[in-house]
């Protein structure tokens, strides 16, 4: 039997979240290597050492690693694909747990890159959309095809929050709309809006790597930069970015996290034209009531509330 050795690097505060994520995928046998344990080892075994390299101390400082193993077979690769999706969502929900890097030992890079891909399959979403990974082929002409290569960013269509937003866009976009995508990740939401008939879209994310990924996904779908703009920056604090994306949008969509949506609630209305819709998701169930109340307090009327797999979305006017 062959095994894949995997590591997730995080900070001490992220250990519980990572172990819960793995437990949700029935992965309970794991090892945790953290700075505190290393210091305890040094303190309790002084008789065995008289010098520790500063580089080793720096390596351990503030870092934790969770190690686990999966069988190198189709079930193991499938489970790894699910871990990868959930880890991307966790990184987006809790940036303070960064780096949240998933790495692998004793497997060739091409295997690491290609084996997980077989578990991303075309997905029908809403009445019209079909999300298709770049490496998959489909002849379905009855739906609007959205071709996607997610790279290492969040947004494959596999996560519930993304599906909730795509379903809302499928209902809201009919042709000619102007769309703002806050926290765009792979660009899946804004590109989907353009494929469904929106005229223009502006997308932004705090992660600079998302810019190239979103533009690459746009190119896969025949979307030119004269209709699509992607920028990196903090939508709540970057004044220059705010001036660039401007206003007068038909739809603003934010698949981010509860705290950012709460911060955005009183700020989004000036970005919308009269009758425009604010779609927000990325809201875990234990924050849903809080976010809903903050939206109501900011004067929003919630037209549609959806939930899936413990996540919520709201469509507001």
- pLDDT band of 273, cuts 50, 70, 90: very high
Q: Residue 226's pLDDT is what?
A: 95
According to the model, what pLDDT value does residue 171 have?
Answer: 96
**Mean pLDDT to the nearest integer, 214-226:** 94
**Is pLDDT above 50 for 182?**
yes
Q: Which pLDDT score is estimated for 48?
A: 40
pLDDT at 272 over 70: yes
Which residues make Cβ contacts (< 8 Å) with residue 81, sequence separation at least 6? 116, 119, 120
The whole-number pLDDT of residue 114 equals 61
* 37 close to 59: Cβ distance less than 8 angstroms: no
pLDDT at 155: 60
Residues 64, 15: contact at Cβ < 8 Å?
yes
With 90 as the cut, is the pLDDT of residue 302 above it? yes
- For residue 85, pLDDT over 90 is answered with no
* Contact (Cβ atoms closer than 8 angstroms) between residue 211 and residue 218: no
What's the whole-model pTM score? 0.70
pLDDT value, residue 210: 87
Q: For 81-91, what is the mean pLDDT?
A: 83
Could you give the domains of the chain? 3-117 (3.30.70), 121-316 (3.40.50.150)
Is the model's pLDDT at 230 over the cut of 80?
yes
26: which residues sit within 8 A by CB, 6+ positions away? Answer: 79
pLDDT mean across residues, the chain: 84
209 has a pLDDT exceeding 90: no
Q: What is the 3-state secondary structure (H, E, C) of the chain?
A: CCEEEEEEEECHHHHHHHHHHHHHCCCCCEEEEEHHHHHHHHHHCHHHCCCCCHHHHHHHCCCEEEEEEEECCHHHHHHHHHHHHHHHHHHHHCHHHCCCEEEEECCCHHHHHHHHHHHCCCEEECCCEEEEECCCCCCCCCCEEEEECCCCCCCCCCCHHHHHHHHHHHHHCCCCCEEEEECCCCCHHHHHHHHHCCCEEEEEECCCHHHHHHHHHHHHCCCCCCCEEEEECCCCCCHHHHHHHCCCEEEEEEECCHHHHHHHCCCCHHHEEEEEEEEEEEEEHHHHHHHHHHHHHCCCCEEEEEEECCEEEEEEC
For the segment 11-70, what is each residue's pLDDT rounded down to a tens digit? 888 988 999 999 888 898 888 887 654 444 444 444 444 444 445 444 545 578 898 988
CB atoms within 10 A of CB 190: 31
Q: Is the pLDDT of residue 86 over 90?
A: no
pLDDT value of residue 56: 42
Higher pLDDT, 172 or 150: 172
Cα–Cα dist 210/195, whole Å: 19
Does 248 have pLDDT greater than 70? yes
What pLDDT score does 94 carry?
Answer: 87
Q: What pLDDT was estimated at residue 289?
A: 96
Confidence of residue 151 (pLDDT cuts 50, 70, 90): low
Higher pLDDT, 99 or 265: 265
């Amino acid at each position: 039997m062959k095994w894949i050795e995997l590591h997730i690097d995080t900070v001490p505060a992220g250990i519980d979240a990572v172990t819960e994520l793995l437990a949700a995928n029935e992965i309970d046998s794991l090892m945790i290597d953290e700075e505190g344990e290393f210091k305890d080892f040094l303190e309790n075994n002084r008789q065995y050492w008289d010098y520790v390299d500063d580089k080793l101390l720096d390596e351990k400082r503030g870092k934790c690693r969770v190690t686990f193993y999966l069988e190198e077979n189709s079930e193991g690769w499938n489970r790894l694909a699910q871990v990868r999706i959930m880890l991307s969502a966790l990184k987006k929900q809790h940036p303070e747990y960064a780096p949240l890097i998933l790495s692998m030992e004793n497997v060739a890079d091409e295997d690491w890159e290609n084996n997980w891909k077989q578990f991303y399959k075309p997905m029908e979403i809403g009445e019209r959309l079909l999300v298709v990974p770049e490496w998959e082929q489909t002849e379905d002409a009855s739906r609007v095809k959205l071709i996607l290569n997610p790279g290492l960013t969040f947004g494959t269509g596999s996560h519930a929050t993304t599906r909730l937003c795509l379903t809302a866009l499928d209902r809201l976009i009919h042709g000619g709309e102007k769309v703002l995508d806050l926290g765009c990740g792979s660009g899946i939401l804004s590109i989907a809006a353009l494929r469904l008939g929106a005229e223009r879209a502006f997308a932004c994310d705090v992660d600079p790597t998302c810019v190239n990924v979103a533009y690459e996904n746009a190119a896969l779908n025949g979307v030119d930069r004269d209709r699509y703009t992607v920028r990196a920056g903090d939508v709540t604090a970057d004044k220059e970015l705010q001036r660039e994306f401007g206003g007068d949008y038909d739809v603003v969509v934010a698949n981010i996290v509860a705290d950012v949506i709460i911060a955005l609630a009183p700020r989004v209305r000036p970005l919308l034209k009269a009758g425009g819709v604010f779609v927000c998701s990325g809201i875990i169930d234990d924050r849903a009531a809080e976010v809903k109340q903050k939206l109501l307090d900011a004067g929003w009327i919630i037209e549609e509330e959806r939930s899936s797999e413990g996540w919520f979305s709201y469509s507001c006017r």
